Amino acid sequence: MRFKQLIIFVSVLFGYSVNAQDPIFSQSNYVQETLNPGFSGFEDNDRIYAGVLSRLQWPSLDLKLTTQYAFVNKSYDYGPRLGFGLGINAQWQYESFNNYNFFQLNANYAHRVYLNGGWFFRPGIEVGIGSKSNKFRNLTLADQININTGIINPVSVDPLSNNTNNRFYVDFSTGIVFEKEEFNGITYWFGISVKHLNQPNISFVEGEKVPLNIFYSIHGNYRFPFLNDYSIMMTANYMQQGQYNRLDIGSLFQVNQFLLGLTAVTNPARNDANSHLLTSINAFIGLEYTEFRFGLSYDMNTSEIGNTRGVYEFSLTYLSRCRRCNLDRSRKR
């Protein structure tokens, strides 16, 4: 059993250090701040938009992951054709098996420029400070095992065994969003973001350099009215980091204050022969109450990874009232 845990741990460590994949939220298509700094101040009209996301992944496995995300941003408007948004966000992730911790705090700025034909262009930048730590308490290294006697020495000469220092780094990201809203209630936007432009070093070993892979995302949204009082939102999000990619395609139905969503998560790259094109189906239910929106999603695994009990995610967002509007405008997303 100990050997199996060692193999699992090494695989996870390899994924974090070499491939360096970012945490991805199932509800990113509904809380786009997780994807692109260009969404800072996206609601316009001096409104404040804030929220939290909480994710529990694979609770049935030793590799249980918990990820938290919190954000707040505000728009500043100088007429309908010019404005900007400011915001901050924080992300924390913990892995129970090996006490891996990741934390990052970011500040972002997005500018709004009016283009011809009713289009708005929103370029954004994000600067963050990150920290990764792992004291390797559960790791048994080869020089600790005496094969003849079966005794495990608590001391190892491997430099990783004494690693107690956090890895700190500075991170730069950018993104753009194009947006248009029609008079008949149809809205659409699409964006592109590039995270970790400076490819910060995230190696736990002193003197070693392991760059964090650049994270690319292309995402879009099309929303239209349905039976006058209702609406349907179609979403798509393609992500690429290192050799791995992911494509999410989904829809969100809003009936009065209730929301129902369904997203298909696919793996277009299929990096090995055992990879599945469709990896999970994500179901979402939500409720809007005054300025708040509550969301709950469940990811049902469709691959052969085992009995993971899926992924659970909860979101709570707040959107302040529109003080500068004659009528309180509804959310854009």
**CATH code of the domain covering residue 144:** 2.40.160.40
Tokens linked to 201: 């070093």
Q: Alpha-carbon distance 196 to 215, whole Å?
A: 7
Q: Which helix (H) or strand (E) holds 10?
A: helix 2-14
pLDDT at 137 over 60: no
Tokens linked to 187: 């809205």
- Cα angle 92, 76, 117 (rounded to 5 degrees) comes to 105
pLDDT number for residue 310:
79
Of the pLDDT bands very low, low, confident and very high (cuts 50, 70, 90), residue 328 is low
Q: Alpha-carbon distance 212 to 218, whole Å?
A: 19
pLDDT at 206 over 80: no
Do 37 and 125 meet the contact criterion of CB atoms below 8 Å apart? yes
Of the pLDDT bands very low, low, confident and very high (cuts 50, 70, 90), residue 6 is very low
pLDDT at 284 over 60: yes
pLDDT number for residue 18:
40
Domain count, the chain: 1
Residue 13 per-residue DSSP state? H
Q: Alpha-carbon distance 298 to 189, whole Å?
A: 26
Mean pLDDT of the residues in the chain? 85
pLDDT number for residue 228:
77
For the ranges 100-104, 165-169, 191-195, 248-252, the lowest mean pLDDT is seen at 165-169
pLDDT at 321 over 70: yes
Residue at 325 is within a domain: no
pLDDT number for residue 306:
61
The string of pLDDT tens digits covering residues 11-65 is 333 333 344 579 899 999 999 999 999 999 999 989 999 999 999 987 766 667 8
Residue at 324 is within a domain: no
Residue at 329 is within a domain: no
Angstrom CA distances, 78 to 46, 108, 329, stand at: 10, 19, 18
Among 94-103, 163-172, 241-250, top mean pLDDT goes to 241-250
- CA-CA-CA-CA dihedral for 295, 32, 196, 176, to nearest 10: 180
pLDDT at 136 over 70: no
Using DSSP, how many helices (H) and how many strands (E) does the chain show? 1, 14
Residue at 333 is within a domain: no
pLDDT number for residue 60:
67
Mean pLDDT in residue range 267-279: 80
pLDDT number for residue 264:
97
For the ranges 9-23, 135-149, 203-217, the lowest mean pLDDT is seen at 9-23
Residue at 89 is within a domain: yes
Residue at 47 is within a domain: yes
pLDDT number for residue 153:
73
Mean pLDDT in residue range 271-299: 90
DSSP 47-74: -EEEEEEEEEE-TTSTT-EEEEEEEEEE
Residue 18 per-residue DSSP state? I
Segments forming the whole domain that contains residue 155: 2-319
Q: What is the pTM of this model?
A: 0.83
- 90 vs 138, which has greater pLDDT? 90
Do 66 and 102 meet the contact criterion of CB atoms below 8 Å apart? no
Tokens linked to 68: 């938290």
30: left (phi over 0), alpha (psi -120 to 50) or beta: alpha
Residue at 330 is within a domain: no
Residue at 326 is within a domain: no
pLDDT number for residue 5:
40
Among 3-12, 98-107, 238-247, top mean pLDDT goes to 238-247
Characterize the bridge pairing of strands 244-255 and 167-181.
Answer: unpaired
Among 200-209, 238-247, 307-316, top mean pLDDT goes to 238-247
DSSP 137-150: TT---GGGB-TTT-
Q: What are phi and psi of 278, to 5 degrees?
A: -100, 115
pLDDT at 298 over 70: yes
